[in-house]
Structure 1
Amino acid sequence: MESTRDLFQIFVRRFGLLNASCCDCCCGEEVSLVQSHILYEIRRQKSASMQQVANALGMDITTFSRQVKTLEKKGLVRKKPHPEDRRIYLLSLTTAGEELENRIDERMKAFIDNILSQFTEFERDMVVKSVQLLNKAILKAGACCLPE
């Protein structure tokens, strides 16, 4: 019988969460998995600060800042100073960034729909509810590297 850890390790691999070039095949862009997450979160939060987006993704600000700079150079992200506090930068997607994020979003929805289509309606609901419960429990438990 597989251990719980084995189940999660295999799930992460099969779902593609370790696929560094995942976005190359779905949208034809050289966007890493991390950059895809950044684009998604910027769109989701709408004009959030760099720190807010970095926190939502669990990234340190230095690494996050380098990724944002790369996305700016690609013309996908816009960074502008906050009107009331010039030390804070707000992030938004450019038109090209929105178009790319839409393509990634459509591809991911189709991928997830394809997976869920293999279940009955009851099983799909159960899987979705289970993932919701798992997300809540992970949030409550904190980081994966808990002190012993």
Structure 2
Amino acid sequence: MVLEDIDERISIVRHFNRSFTRQIGVLREGLLHSPYTLTEARIIFELAHREQTTASQLGRELGLDPGYLSRILAQLEQRGLTEKRRSDNDGRQYLLSLTAEGREAAQLLDQRSRDEVAEMLNALSEGEQQRLIKAMQDIEGILTKSFKFSEPFFLRPHQPGDMGWVTHRHGVLYAREYGWDERFEALVAQIVAGFVNNYDPAHEHCWIAEMQGEIVGSVFLVRASDSMAKLRLLLVEPNARGLGLGSHLVEACIRFARQHGYQKIQLWTNSVLLAARHIYQKAGFKLVAEEAHHSFGHDLIGETWELVL
């Protein structure tokens, strides 16, 4: 169906918005039978998913007016839900966080939200659930591409053909930059094949980064257990490095893991991958194990990193 009339397109989008709000309960998700307004609930949710942030960062993330946000934060602090401390790196900034009472409130809101979404999904067949999740991912990817102007890149879900790109570019770049042989490319091919064959969209995700019409990066988050996810195959093309894309991809994995109830993220890398190690360390991952191995034609030190959520 091709719609030529812009008014008809606008009408369909507006109708979808009204229907979506009714069916998903977007407004109700912020309240969830709690004493918090929608905006207060959004702030509590966001602070629960961040180790530390400033009011300005929070305002940009949520799209809130600074004055309005300041008043809401003051009210939450008076109610004992949030607290602030001066930054060690910049004395002009204050870092925001939840108090113990605030974390309890966030857990209650999160559980009620999960229960509400689960109730909605349980009313659908398996096929309907898969179609719904895929459609939501497509909508998010399209809107992210269209409206995210703050960075020169955008992230989207994987599409047919992307797994071939991931395998090919890993093989090319790791051979060029580290001298790894084709056995590394074979390993990547096994990982992406396993992801596609066992893909669980309710618990796993792949992000493909595009910039100026070209793919420039990727990362996967896959289910290891009910409580732990694995971050895999982080890659950033040379022409997209230095833009914060690697950190952006890792942060997307962390947000997804927290929103889907994981308690820990684990990843495996090698000591020679200094740029990737720096990104993981900056995101809060801790090195928990090291092991020497001979792979891809080289003697390497494998490393296991973990982030407790």
Give the structure-1-normalised TM-score.
0.83
Unaligned runs of 5+ in 2: 1-10, 149-309
Deviation, 1:99, is 0.3
User: Which amino acid in the other structure matches residue 24 of structure 2?
Assistant: F
Aligned to 1:7: 16
What amino acid maps onto 2:69 in structure 1? F
1:102 aligned residue (101, 107, 111): 107
Question: What letter is aligned with 1:70?
Answer: Q
Pair member with larger Rg: 2
Aligned length: 138
> Pick from 101, 111, 116: which aligns with 1:111?
116
Q: Which amino acid aligns with 1:50?
A: A
Equivalences for 1:1-148 in 2 at 5 Å? 3-19=12-28, 22-23=31-32, 25=33, 27=34, 30-142=35-147
Higher helix share: 1
* 1:48 Cα offset (Å): 1.3
Write the letter of the residue equivalent to 2:126.
E
Higher strand share: 2
- Structure 1: give runs of 5+ residues left out of the alignment: 144-148
Letter in 2 for 1:35: E
2: distance between equivalents of 1:19 and 1:109? 12
Q: Is contact 2:47–2:98 with CA below 8 Å preserved after alignment?
A: yes
Amino acid in structure 1 at the alignment position of 2:97: S
Q: Alignment identity in percent?
A: 27
| Aligned 8 A contact 1:49 1:89 in 2 | yes
* Partner Cα separation in structure 2 for residue 21 and residue 102 of structure 1: 13
> Cα RMSD over matched residues?
2.1
Provide the rounded CA distance (Å) in 1 between the counterparts of 2:106 and 2:130: 27
Classify the secondary structure of the residue corresponding to 2:26.
coil
